[in-house]
Every structure is written in structure tokens, then in C-alpha cells.
A and B are shown apart, each in its own frame.
Chain A
């Protein structure tokens, strides 16, 4: 009989590929103490605004240490309803159309578990956030990647969607603005995608976690388009806009029967999100908007800086309309994304993530996060210039 502990690991988990991010993380970790500038991060450099932290401390002082309702504190759900209505023009009832989750991560998992039968096909645009495909595989669904292209600034098009569609597709995962490309869709493109979803009766899981960080005009949620709220689960959270990654708090909004299905999974697996994080989230929604605007302004200027520098250096880089990621094309250097990232790290000590970590359609690109101080960004760009052009 085998004595390998691995014999107990479930087959579909054993079959999950290792994250490309993980490999790179280990490579960077080996260079500890070597003045590495990391553009490989995936979260804000800002610490959570003080008034939000202080509200959490105050909640603890008042003894807020209990479980909350499975759906989350009603005060928070009311605040979420108000916020989503104001910023995304979609109305949800706090009583039964909103669920507070442990980050968008849990909300995505709940949605996959609640809506995906074994073998159901789930479409997602790629390059994409590293968790999407594994979340589908974990519920024995079948992922269907829809490519997005540099020529479209990585906006998803209805044409690509139609080309990738096969009978049996049930769900579409959307992430606009997109990690890792910063791609978004114009309202016209979004309308075509919405029409396609209605035509094929697709349920949309719309992860809009970067929506506040839109730099070139307002963000439009697909849920706000005609006939879409009833087939969309709107996923959002506090990690990016409010600089609250470590709090692990997010939410999902949608039709009551669908939220109820997600709630069933949530109540048996998570019970509720942390009450302290919920209290902090309530403060964020009530008084945090000024902080969001201040941080967005910084990201905006940083974006303009790195995009300009990347193009000057000779890396073709579109200006991401949202998120805090730039996704330059490194092929003009004659290197693959993997070679480029490893070479840049070893020779100039700048970490970026190879685009293929986000799926094969990221080939030829790297992801550079600009949620870092001006000084570091300028230094990193100077080093990249030296790496690419051997100057100075």
C-alpha cells in the first residue's frame, strides 16, 4: 500500500496547476536584503485610512466580538445598498439582495459553488485574475477562456465572446477594470456583451473590485444596463479602493433567490464575515470617500508616469483605464515575458510578474503594479531603462 501522504489529496485539487505567481514569489523571496523594488505586488501601498482603523478599535472597545447575521450586519448592508446605488446606479434591497463576504475571493467561491453544476461551462476573459480558473475547477466546472488582445487595450469584445462560446456555457465572469491588464470596456462594448449574455441566457459574475480606480471617465457596471440586474451577481469589496486588503471583507449583490443560494453555502462554510472588518467597512462607506479620491489621484499620476516611461524605454504599453496595473509588451526587447522578468530581477533587481501567470493570453507581457511611491517608481523605471537599453 502507498505511504505517500499525497494519496489523500483529492484528485481535482492535485490536478490544479501551481500558480505562476507563486513561482515568482519564491524567486523574489530568495533575493531578500538585496534592494529589490517590487512592482509585483497586488495591493495598495497605502495603509488603511486611520479613521477606518480607529472605528474598528472603537468597535472592539465596545465589545463587538460576536457573530453577526449570516448576511452581514444590516447597517452595513444598508450602507452597501446606498453606496452601490450612488456609484453604480443599481438598487439592491439590503434585506435579501446583499451578502457580506470574506473578500471578493469568498464571494467568487460562493457564486461558483452555488451556481455551477459538475461540468457546467464558465466563461472568463483572459489574461485574468489568477483565481478565476481554479475557482471553476474546484467546483468541477469547465473553464472557457475568452482571449482579450493588446490591440484592443485588452477590452473584452462581444465578438471574441461569441467566437469562444459553445453550447452549455452558463456563466460569464467579468472583471472590469481588469487585473492584470487594466482593461475596461466602453459603454458600447459593454452593451454588446450584455446583449450577448441575454441572447445566450448567461449568468454574469461581475467582479468590479477596481471600479473606483477608473481614471478616464466614469465606470459603468454591466448590472446597470437594461435587463442585466436580474442576471448579474455584482461582486465588490473594500480591498483596493479603501486599501483594506488584510481585513478580508467584500460583498455580493444580486437577485434574492441567487443571493439566498450563496447564503446557504456561506452559512455552512463561513457563518459570517469578521464583525471587526464589517464595522470598519461601515466606516469606510460612511466617511471614506475622500480617502478613496485622494488615493485615486495618486494612482492616476503614477499611472501616467510609468506608462510614459515604459513607452520611452521602448516597451509598448497602453494606458490602463483602471486598476493599478500596467501591462507592457516586452517583445520589442527580443525576450519572452519569462526571460524579461527573470533577467530584470537578477540584473536590475526589479520584480514584475510574467504575463503568462495570468493565462496564456498574457504571453509577451509583464504586469507592473504602480501602487508604489514616486521615488520607487522612478528608480524602477531607470533600472528598467538600463536593463532594456544598457544606458547610464
Chain B
């Protein structure tokens, strides 16, 4: 990763390696169809300020393309000054659309990341009168072990991605914290065995090095 002009400060302070991917709040997209079926269940606000997305903010577009460009490079491609790029990013952060940076790692090869075990947990809960699923989900989501937490349609209610340094630690989280929360009816924990693709990055192989000719008609 290039060290010049890295966007934001949190990116380098936290991580020195890997490729970072911007975390963007999914409900920020005007793509209602994706969450549409469970809109009521989720309680997402119906309409978003469309001006940021139509046409899509060029800075956001470049971030989403998954290319790891520095602010200086983004500025060149978008035809802006670096200051303008920073302003765009600040605005996206203020609007709570752009939530922060995370590196995308092949965790099986990076012991230092401290994530030996990852699991997906399906949770069935009794919705509360008044709060629905929200209060419950917000409570669960606060645990450090929880990477992501979603309300789902279908056979269970919450889907939780957890990570931990060992099987015991993750198991302890499930049995001591998660399942004891009032209202949890059942949990079903699936440990991940092997990762083939992580947030758009293929882990093994991917494309072979290019054989494109340097000069062609």
C-alpha cells in the first residue's frame, strides 16, 4: 500500500498491512430492492437523500471500485483537488454513509490479526413488545466479538458474524453471553472452516499474471 496521501487517519493507525476496503453503510444506497422485502421489519427509513447518489458521488464510486488509490490518485482520476476529495470523504462520514476503513486480510495467514476462529450464528429471539427486534439486536451488536449483525427474513431472526482468538473463546461467548441474553430462544453456531473469497478478493489463485502483449495493433 502506498503510504503517501492515505485517506483519513484511522486507516494507517490501525493497520499496516493488507488492502483496505471502505465500509459503507448498506442502507445508504438508494437500492431499495435489496432490503425492500424486510423494510418494515428493519425499520429503515424509507427515502434517502438521493442527491449523493444520482449521479453517484465520484469519490465514493472510486472507493467502491475496490481500487486502493491514495487521495492524490483519487483526486487525479476524479479531476478534483485533494482538498475536495477530503471534503467529500468528510461529508460521507458526517452523513454516516462512509463508516470507516478495514483491511481485507487472508486471516488464515496472519496470526498477528488475532483471529483464529470465525463463526456465523443464527439466533432466534422473541421480539419485545414495543422494541421489536431492534433493542435486542443493538444489544447483541455491541459485543466486541460481533463483527456484523443482521436482521433476517426466514427461519431465524438474527445472523451474527463473530470472531475470536480460539474455539474456546468463541464458544464461551455463545454459551455465556449470547444464549443468556433474555429473549434468546435458540442459537445455531457454524464455524467457518476455510475462506475462498473475502469481500470480493479471491484468496487462492485468482487470475494468473497477465500475458497481455505490451505492444499490439
Contact = CB atoms under 8 A, between A and B. Distances in A.
B217 A21 contact: yes
A25 B69 contact: no
A130 to B, nearest CB: 4
Interface in B61-110: 65, 67, 69, 73, 76-79
Contacts of B76: 305, 309, 374, 378
Contacts of A36: 214
Interface string B106-119: 00000000000000
Chain B contact-residue range equals 10 to 19
B217 A38 contact: no
A375 interface: yes
Nearest to A309: B76
Chain A contact-residue range equals 20 to 34
A29 B214 contact: yes
A45 interface: yes
Interface string B203-217: 000010010111111
Contacts of B73: 374-375, 378
A27 to B, nearest CB: 8
B43 to A, nearest CB: 31
Interface in A16-60: 19, 21, 24-25, 28-29, 36, 38, 40-43, 45, 47
Interface string A296-332: 0010011011001100000000000000000000000
Interface string B185-217: 000000000000000000000010010111111
A290 to B, nearest CB: 14
Contact of A305 (B77, B207, B216): B77
Contact of B69 (A129, A308, A375): A375
A353 interface: yes
The B contact surface, by secondary structure, is: loop
A302 B207 CA distance: 22
A83 B192 CA distance: 43
B217 A24 contact: no
Given A373-B67, A374-B67, A375-B69, A43 B216 contact: yes
B215 A351 contact: yes
Interface in A346-392: 351, 353, 373-375, 378
A378 B72 CA distance: 10
Contacts of B69: 374-375
A243 B31 CA distance: 28
A130 B210 contact: no
A29 B215 CA distance: 9
A353 B65 CA distance: 29
Contacts of B67: 373-375
Given A298-B65, A301-B78, A374-B73, 18 more contacts: A21-B215, A25-B216, A28-B214, A29-B214, A40-B216, A47-B207, A47-B210, A179-B217, A304-B79, A305-B77, A308-B79, A309-B76, A351-B214, A374-B69, A374-B76, A375-B69, A378-B76, A378-B77
